[in-house]
Structure 1
Amino acid sequence: MPEHSGYGQFCPVSMAAEVFCSRWTPLILRELMAGTTRFNDLRRGVPRMSPALLSKRLKELEKAGIVAVERRGGTVDYTLTPAGMDLREVVMTLGIWGQRWVESQLSLRNLDPTLLMWDMRRNLIVKPLPPRKCTIQFQYPELPGAKKNFWLVVDNAVVDLCYFDPGFEIDLLVRSPLRTMTAVWMGLAKLRSEIDAGTIELDGDPAIAGAMQNWLGLSPFANETRRVA
């Protein structure tokens, strides 16, 4: 359970909040609901969370009956129990509310290339890409060294994210400011408009470049209409 002593109320809202509202817990649930099961992959989805705190939260969620832990040999898998899956609507509703009501410029202050690329990896739509190994490099010129380049490698419908040059021939280079690509991913900007404006530059296979709108899966909240609070 969370480290605080609780609200001390019998109300179901209070009792549920003691489990759900601990720092990082909704984000861990978001990752598990996206299909992540391994500890290191969970870390990639919450890169600013320390491994010790992630381990602590997972143990709390296991104790609360929300996460099941399966150990096989040297591997450990984390999955949601029926109680955990029952929180999907809560997590989705929270995301929809944020997309609708949180001011977009405030959202775009929290830029994180690692999280953006991890989200792109798991939402990428393979079908519009060629039926062969395909490597797409994303470059954010304004970022320092190790955070400047990322590679998405698609092979046999499996998408892998590389933080170092995998050594394969690049089929498409996508060059963009991080803020612009994040805005496109979140549905705050249109890909075609940014390409036409020259903000996003594409260099490589014309067919893959032309199909980018189809294979670049956006945030699950991208289609929500923004509103003014």
Structure 2
Amino acid sequence: MHRYEQHCPIARAAEVVAESWTLLIVRELLCGNECRVDIAKGLPKIAPSVLGRRLRTLESHGLVTRVVEAREVSYRLTAAGRELRPIVEQLGAWGQRWLDRPRLGDLDPELLVYDICREIDRARLPADPLTVEVDFADAPQPRRWWLILSAAEVVAGQRHPDTAAAVRVSCTLGALAGVWLGHVTWLQAVRDRAIMLAGETAAIRSLIDCLGASRFAGMARVDEPLPRPAGDRG
């Protein structure tokens, strides 16, 4: 942990939470992911050793409690950790408002599908499971994902389910991410054929109604995003 050696509360707080990956780990804990394997799903590029060190740091500073139940280890935010929620949410809102679209290299099909599935409003899901096949045209193999959406459960995976897909979605990573983040609407993406939907009309409408957009998508963005540093244009 880097020490700034200042009395300023901002500097002292930064010593605890501004280390790489730490706020993203807090984000996952705020989303209800308490086991290391579930936390890692939202952080696919973090090294297991780094995740372990960051969790231990959060625990040592009293932001996280390590709980062992039936030999299963989980991590839960303390009152101090939960108070970081508005800070994490405001950071996301700031990024949505001021930063340009994510680079292609920042897009990961598994993480995008995972993010969409965990933010679905289950109250809007159909009682009968809706099976959806998603084909990312520009993703490496395997590029197909299947979603099973219902009020009872939301399941995403790369294994073909037993039921046939009611809706097939063909798109690029950038197109689906653009809709999810609110840079374009579903209607615009479909009209531009950046996203192509196949299936019964009722099933397609149900899918669009279910998926919606990220909680940050409605954030008003500035007309001119902040410039990317030289050499960071990919």
Q: State the TM-score, normalizing by the size of structure 1.
A: 0.91
Q: Distance in 2 between matches of 1:84 and 1:57?
A: 13
Deviations 1:174-228 (A, max 9, x none): 1111100001111111111111222211122321202333211422211111113
SS of residue paired to 2:177: helix
- Deviation, 1:127, is 3.7
- Deviation, 1:169, is 2.1
RMSD: 1.7
- Deviation, 1:159, is 0.8
Count of residues paired in the alignment: 224
SS of residue paired to 2:122: coil
Letter in 1 for 2:179: V
Deviations 1:31-72 (A, max 9, x none): 111121121111110001011111111111111111122111
Aligned residues of 1:108 and 1:183 also touching (Cα < 8 A): no
Unmatched 5+ stretches in structure 1: none
Matched, 1:68 2:65: yes
SS of residue paired to 1:209: helix
Q: 1:156 to 1:89 in 2, by over 3 A?
A: closer
Structure-2 residue corresponding to 1:186:
181
Structure-2 residue corresponding to 1:170:
165
Aligned residues of 2:126 and 2:149 also touching (Cα < 8 A): no
Aligned residues of 1:125 and 1:214 also touching (Cα < 8 A): no
Q: 1:136 to 1:226 in 2, by over 3 A?
A: same
- Deviation, 1:128, is 3.7
Structure-1 residue corresponding to 2:215:
220
- Deviation, 1:108, is 5.2
Letter in 2 for 1:100: R
Q: Distance in 2 between matches of 1:166 and 1:51?
A: 30
- Deviation, 1:107, is 4.8
Q: Distance in 2 between matches of 1:94 and 1:218?
A: 18
Letter in 2 for 1:178: L
Percent identity, aligned pairs only? 34
Letter in 2 for 1:197: D
Q: State the TM-score, normalizing by the size of structure 2.
A: 0.89
Q: Distance in 1 between matches of 2:124 and 2:85?
A: 29
- Deviation, 1:97, is 0.8
Q: Which residue, out of 5, 21, 24, partners 1:27? A: 24
Aligned residues of 2:181 and 2:216 also touching (Cα < 8 A): yes
